[in-house]
Chains A and B, each alone.
Chain A
Amino acid sequence: MDDKKTKAGDWRSYQRVLLPPVKDLHKLDVYEKHEGYKALREVLTTDKWNPTSVTNEVKKSGLKGRGGAGFPTGLKWSFMPPVDPNIPRFLCCNGDESEPGTFKDRQLMEYNPHLVFEGMLIASYAMSIKTGYLYIRGEFADWITLMEEELEKAYAKGYVGKNIMGSGYSCDIVIHKGAGAYICGEESSLMSSLEGQRAYPRVKPPFPAQKGIWGYPTTINNVETLACAPLIINKGGEWFSKIGAPSHPGPVLYGISGHVNRPGVFEYPTGMLITDLINEVAGGMRGGKKLKALIPGGSSTPILRADMIEGVTMDADSLREAGSMMGTSGMLIMDEDVDIVSWLRRITHFYHHESCGQCTPCREGTGWLENIVTRLDEGQGQLRDLDILLDLCTQMEGRTVCALADAAAWPVRYTIDRFRSEFEAKCSTETVPSGGVLETA
């Protein structure tokens, strides 16, 4: 296909904006020289901007959340209730990033931390928020230290804190250190964690915009989503909406891992052909092996077989048609040697380990998924185990407070659906007589 006709356009000459090629961009003085805090200054000190016009510009840009669900960001911001001076409001920047296969936010926070702070401040201004929490997972201890150092410099220069740039607007940023729980990436359990509780998810509604942390209106956005806000202010929502796929525009950090010659985090527009990403961006398959399958956006997005990706692009619509999801755009590429059953066993182990234990279908279901997939992997499974697994998935999906049960069930459901012959090949040949008791491993 001609490059000009793909949704990503002429991606080979794409100029990076989230991580522009500037030495030491993480330092405040370098960031200032490269339009740093220019967007914030413009928003706070010129008459062109007020909270509504900032939100409208983000709506116009068509920015969708980069944390997995892909909800339109401008719309989310507009859900905040009208300002009441007696009721505090909060922003949470979700840097928990624990979806397996995702490692983009860590590099964004390391190489361009001030863009994240600036994005948080612009979002806070748009929603008249006075405090923003940046939740970073505890494993990123080194990155938390680095971010805190840079945040202190931003405070010293008056970009954060009281009366920013003499505009009369004040906003604080607090970095919150997690302690290792996948569930904290889910927005309502992130709120519980911030409040100093066990990170149990909460029932929605009420949504965070109505009843968030400590019961106050709260908006939660991913790190990469908020980092797009200064770019939208600087260059305009229309510029942003023309990057990549029209229905899901903007720059994206693709995290490509697994069996490729050039793994890593790459910034390109949305709507890249998956085949381009594997063969050109990531340098093709390792050792000249054949592609077997891939995960387009983190562990909970359904697996795609190699024969399902022809012409599929990395945006929400195209991936939905192909039978998967955009997720976090953390792609895992698997070559022909991968044993899909063993691989699925590791995923079920992950979800069993990370289930918070609040809802029975998830707490028990993830354990049974692991037990049964393990039995299959050990060669002791029966054909009917596959149907038991699919039935179990149905019992788990949509029956819990948060989406972890769905995220645990989907990989099992779609992997069995798309690689059934491999599961059948691993099943034990011994048959169970009718009415007999199935012995467990």
Chain B
Amino acid sequence: MGDFIKHPFVDMPDRNPEQVIPNDQLVFTSEEKKQIQTWVSHYPTADGAVMRALWLAQEKFSFLPPEVIKLVAAEIGIPYANAYGVATFYTQYFKEKKGKHVLDVCTCFSCQLCGGYDMLHYIENKLGVHKGETTKDGLFTIQEAECLGACGSAPMLQITNGPFVHNLNKDKVDALLDALREGKVPAFTSVTLPQDEDEMGGNRRTDVSSVESYIVPPISETVS
């Protein structure tokens, strides 16, 4: 069984850290501003757009230090405290610098029963860091994630809030890490419904290149 954190209280980020992103880079382009204003128009008050705007800022700056949250708050015209409250509430917003690829390995109960912890520990050993840490070359951060909603294709992981990698095993992890080192992020993978396999002979989407199917979790990799 995995080594749980005994007291997993999340450390709040330092409230007044030194500014990381210089002022001259701390601007939105006019397209980004337009995009944010489109989102603002979708809601009765500007507050509703804060989550989308924070997502955009995170994609642009790779994480959300206070100066970026301030920028977002100013752009949509809400108090900084509101934007800060939202940014610190949700787990997918990164409050500190992470590796280039963040590997969120799901270990919630379906994945736990199908070897999620084996996969997490395998990746930890392979990269030589613990969960929550970043490798020295700044390429990978490993995190333990709560249920990512792909229980049938467990164990699985998500790469930097993006594509899912289903039905993990050691070979797949090796290939994935090599591909990521070369800068190749896997494409969107469609998981075939078992009934589609029976009735349609495979995946129903003809426009996806990467297809997975639900497979039996291997017994040898199962921890309980």
A330-B113 in contact (CB<8A):
no
Interface string of B152-175 (1 = CB under 8 A from A): 111000100111100000000000
Q: Is the CB of A198 within 8 A of B89?
A: yes
Q: A16-B195, A196-B49 in contact; A101/B204 too (CB < 8 A)?
A: no
Q: In the complex, what residues of B have CB within 8 A of residue A264's CB? A: 152, 191, 193-194, 214
**B205 at interface by CB-CB < 8 Å:** yes
The chain A residue sitting closest to B9, CB to CB, is A367
Tell me if A101 and B147 are in contact (CB < 8 A). Answer: yes
Q: Are A196 and B43 interface neighbours, CB within 8 A?
A: yes
Q: Within the complex, what minimum Cβ distance (angstroms) separates B121 from chain A? A: 15
- Determine if B61 is an interface residue (Cβ-Cβ < 8 Å): no
| Assembly CA distance A101 to B111 (angstroms) | 9
- Give the chain B neighbours of A258 by CB distance below 8 A: 110, 113-114, 151, 217
Beyond A24-B206, A347-B109, A350-B146, is A257–B42 a contact (Cβ under 8 Å)? no
Q: Is B14 an interface residue when CB atoms closer than 8 A count as contact?
A: no
Would you call A371 an interface residue if the criterion is a C-beta within 8 Å of the partner chain's C-beta atoms? yes
Contact present for B217 and A181 (CB under 8 Å): no
* Complex contact A99–B194 (CB within 8 A): no
Residues of B within 8 A of A98 (CB): 146-147, 149
B154 pairs with A257, CB closer than 8 A: yes
A155 contacts chain B at the CB level, 8 A cutoff: no
Are B78 and A266 within 8 A (Cβ)?
no
| Distance to closest chain A CB from B206 (angstroms) | 6
B52 at the interface (CB under 8 A from A): yes
- Using C-beta atoms within 8 Å of the partner chain, give the interface range for chain B: 35 or more
B111: shortest Cβ distance to chain A, in Å?
A: 9
Give bound CA distance, A296 to B113, whole Å.
Answer: 16
Which chain B residues border A266 with CB–CB below 8 Å?
A: 193-195
**A182 vs B114: C-alpha distance when bound (angstroms):** 22
Nearest CB on A from B197, distance (A) = 9
Cα A97 to Cα B148 with chains together (Å):
9
Q: List the A side residues contacting B196 at CB < 8 Å.
A: 19, 21
Please tell me if the beta carbons of B204 and A179 are within 8 angstroms of each other in the complex: no
Contacts of B85 in A (CB 8 A): 197-198
Q: Are A371 and B55 in contact (CB under 8 A)?
A: no
Whether, in the assembled complex, A110 has its beta carbon less than 8 Å from a beta carbon of chain B, the answer is yes
Of the listed stretches B16-24, B90-98, B128-136, chain A binds B90-98
Query: CB distance B8 to A349 under 8 Å?
Result: yes
Interface of A, helix, strand, loop or mixed by DSSP: mixed
B110 partner, pick from A198, A332, A370, beta carbons under 8 A: A332
Partner of B51, one of A99, A177, A263, A370: A177
Whether B161 lies near A181 (C-beta < 8 A) is no
Size band of the A side of the interface?
35 or more
Interface of B is mostly: loop
CB-defined contacts of B188 to chain A, threshold 8 Å: 142, 146
A353 an interface residue at 8 Å Cβ cutoff? yes
Interface: B11 (CB within 8 A): no
Q: Within 8 Å CB of B162, what residues of A?
A: 141-142
* A182, chain B: closest CB distance, angstroms: 7
Partner of B82, one of A25, A27, A174, A197: A197
Given the contacts A23-B204, A100-B146, A193-B51, A179 and B93 also touching, CB distance less than 8 Å = yes
Give chain B residues whose Cβ lies under 8 Å from the Cβ of A100.
108-110, 146-147, 151
Chain A residues near B119: list those with CB within 8 A.
none
How far, in Å, is A288 (CB) from chain B's closest CB? Answer: 10
Most B-side CB within 10 Å, residue of A27, A103, A377: A103
Contacting residues, chain B, for A19 (C-beta < 8 A)? 193, 195-196
> Which of B43, B107, B204 interacts with A111 by CB under 8 Å?
B204
Q: Which residues of A contact B214 (CB under 8 A)?
A: 262-264
Do B151 and A199 have beta carbons less than 8 Å apart? no
B177 at the interface (CB under 8 A from A): no
Asked whether A106 and B149 contact (CB < 8 A) given A26-B205, A101-B110, A346-B112, the answer is yes
Mark B65-90 against chain A: 1 for CB-CB distance below 8 A, else 0: 00000000000001000100110011
A59 within 8 A of B: no
Residues of A within 8 A of B15 (CB): none
Residue pair A214, B91 in contact (C-beta under 8 Å): no
Any A CB within 8 A of the CB of B150:
yes
Give bound CA distance, A106 to B189, whole Å. Answer: 12
Q: Are A195 and B45 in contact (CB under 8 A)?
A: yes
What is the bound-complex CA distance between A264 and B162, given in angstroms?
Answer: 22
Contact A256 B152, CB 8 Å, known A179-B54, A179-B93:
yes
- Looking at the complex, which one of A137, A179, A343 makes contact with B55 (CB distance below 8 Å)? A179
**Chain B residues, Cβ within 8 Å of A396:** none
Which residues in window 56-112 of A have CB below 8 A to B? 88, 97-103, 105-107, 110-111
Task: Give the CA-CA distance A330 to B147 in the complex, in Å.
Answer: 13
Q: Which residues of B are found within 8 Å of A27, using beta-carbon distances?
A: 207
Contacting residues, chain A, for B93 (C-beta < 8 A) = 179
Q: Which residues of B contact A181 (CB under 8 A)?
A: 89-91
CA distance A262 to B215 in the complex (A): 6
B205→A111 contact, CB < 8 A: yes
Q: Does A7 contact B (CB under 8 A)?
A: no
Q: Are A353 and B109 in contact (CB under 8 A)?
A: no
Q: Is the CB of B164 within 8 A of A142?
A: yes
Could you list some 30 contacts between A and B, CB below 8 A?
A: A21-B195, A21-B204, A24-B204, A24-B205, A100-B110, A101-B109, A105-B149, A106-B149, A111-B205, A139-B149, A141-B161, A176-B48, A176-B52, A179-B54, A181-B91, A196-B50, A196-B78, A196-B86, A199-B90, A214-B44, A255-B151, A257-B114, A258-B114, A259-B114, A266-B193, A287-B219, A334-B113, A339-B224, A350-B108, A371-B6
Binding site for B on A (CB under 8 A): 16, 19, 21-27, 88, 97-103, 105-107, 110-111, 137-142, 146, 172, 174, 176-182, 193-199, 214, 216, 255-267, 286-287, 299, 330, 332, 334, 337-339, 342-343, 345-347, 349-350, 352-354, 356, 370-371, 374, 377, 441
List residues of chain B with CB under 8 Å of any chain A CB: 1, 4, 6-8, 42-52, 54-55, 78, 82, 85-86, 89-93, 107-110, 112-114, 146-154, 158, 161-164, 188, 190-191, 193-196, 199-200, 204-207, 214-217, 219, 222, 224
